[in-house]
Structure 1
Amino acid sequence: MKFGKRDFKIFTVTVSFITLMFAGCREDTNRYSISGRISHAEGKVLYLEELLVTSSKIIDSTRIDKKGEFEFRGITSIPTYYLLKFNSNKFITLLVDSLEQVVILADYANFEREYHVQGSEGSAHVKLLNDHLNDTRHKLDSLKSMKNLYRGSFDFEKLKLKFDEESENIRKEQIEFSKKFVMDNPFSMASVLALYQKFDNQNFVLNNIQVMKVAASALNSIYPQSGHIKALYQNTLELLQEERSEQLKRFIREQGDNSPDIVLPNPDGTEIALSSFRGKVVLLQFWSAADRNSRIVNQALVEAYRKYKNRGFEIFQVSVDTDREEWTDAIEFDNLTWINVGDMEGSRHAVNSYNIKSVPFNYLLDKDGVIISRDLKGQALDKAISNLLK
């Protein structure tokens, strides 16, 4: 089929029109509006700011008309935090999604404390969280004032215990409320607010890494492009690493200076003790022949062993397998020439002694059998081995 010049021009114009039409449709699908009425605010300037991870930026402003009415329109593809703001002391937080038509009703005098929001589930969640926390803070402040009022009285110590107990109960109720909100709404961006709310300038309401992990994983699966979710996800990873480091420190303190000994048979049936390798840097590696990740790690360890075995380095690999043939076949197939042991009953005693929850997993021991680090991989493992062998 051949096109003439006229046909081509018509075709080009038609395609351009369709392209613009669909672009316009895509834009419209992400358009939101924020409007409302604020009594006693005639002539005042109202700002719309986007709330970023560590700051905010003004994206629009308007002057309240004679009826107290205002309106903002904008485009967003994901739920976004905004501040509706008169000044640094008078603002409310909104969480607006595409297509939402948010309506705000308030009075200027108590704008930041009492307002009504309609047409936005996220903004309603934000208000719920902030109202509940403000109520909690008010109760705690009242108890603190009462405690100060009775300070110096003859029965102050008794009253202090009562006030402290009441304060603790109020805090627990707030913690449970926030925890339930996040667990009930793991895919809501409002959960980010719940995770970072504070009782005061120093103390977070939630200090539960597991709750944080649930929300971070859920939100990252649907809003990976959000700056707030990127920050939450990174923060969660850092806290998990800190928690693991603390677990290692506790484990080392509980075990004393040396690592618990392991005595298990190799494929030939000869029992070999971990402690027999004192004087060498040892990587205590837990694995399973049936586990794909363990087999991948083996390939990396082959190179590390080749590089350091003649410099006083040994790998003591403990199998958690129950199938002897699968275990020995994997040793041969992966060309594992270091120490391999296992009782073919899951090596439970060794697993329990080292608190192993999953494989592959490792501990790095110095020449005295002291645990130096755990779960090292790649360059981090290579660097740690090299430093210990100096």
Structure 2
Amino acid sequence: MKQLLLSLLLAGPGLALAQRPAPAPAPITYTLRGTIGKLNAPAKIYLVRPAIMDSATLKNGVFELKGHTDVPKEMVLILSRNGNLRQHHLWEDAPEARDAIRVFLEPTPVVLTSPDSLRHATVQGGPLTTDHRQLLAALQPIEDQQNALDAAYERAPKEQQQRPEFKQPLLARQQALRAERDQRRAAFIKAHPGSWVSLEVLQKFGSVPQYAEVAPLYEVLSPALKSTPPGQEYARMLQAIKRVAIGAEAPDFTQLDPAGQPVRLSSLRGKYVLIDFWASWCRPCREENPNVVKAYHEFKGRNFDVLGVSLDSEKSREKWLQAIKDDQLPWTQVSDLKGWQNAAAEQYHVLGIPQNFLLDPSGKIIAVNLRGEELRAALARYLQ
């Protein structure tokens, strides 16, 4: 259980238009300083997003980090008491699960104080820090409930973890928490339209951003934020996801099946089709495959089909073929074996997997990102 891209002409109604690119903003100088008890070397503080950006050794509990950033942004501070933090271990757990804390870089110095741990530190700074702490406080109850769900899953025996009657209620609750988290983020953006924190929140809104949800939130942002390079980048992303939003005609593509035969999406016109983006190395994809298999067998006789599109690469071709066999995926599978550069994935603006698009018989996108019981319920509704 354990998700930014202003073209010069935006076609969407209500979206502000940019007449010319804004000049790059001057870099801002940030300062992060703090006192964490009486810690000394080898204890170190690391600044991370997501790679290690800087570090400082504590002396009598005191540390200070200074640097430059192109725009204000959220970062993570991690305290390593032995001074070691290996790059590939950074995100094995969420920051809340280790001695870490989220901070927002801004021109005003940010000061952290705690008698013992970093994640329980008091944080003070300028107006962006105030906004950021307000947002985190609003989201904390959701994070606490999510952590409790994760703990319940991890405590369960491996066999129980695989049982649908155990997993489905947890997944349903997780989906409800994600919806509530997005509601609170949306409320924050509407209440703080001129804050850099709101732009950061919007960039992270939803595991898979949906045009109908995020375009109105982008419109809420102040003209000053929209004119910044990140604001313009996000507007370009909006234009990209609009092309594959619900109601749009699905872009056609052709890729090869495992036997090397070309398969064209439009050849499936006349059926309801689920385009399923996945990969053999993607654990969440593999965990979701049984749900898709179940839905396929239930509805395949009712004008429904699935087209799997793998983000595997040439190096993982054999693993892709083995995963098809192991997961018993009976529908057509295709790939260009270019990994994240898969041409169809780029057409559909796939930034994370699993991700799927449900098409009606005319080739129009009618639903996106359906998982578990949501997929079955949608198919039952459309194929009744």
Q: Shared topology, TM-score over 0.5?
A: no
TM-score (norm 1): 0.42
Instruction: Considering fraction of residues, name the structure with more helix.
Output: 1
**Higher RCO (Cα < 8 Å, 6 or more apart):** 2
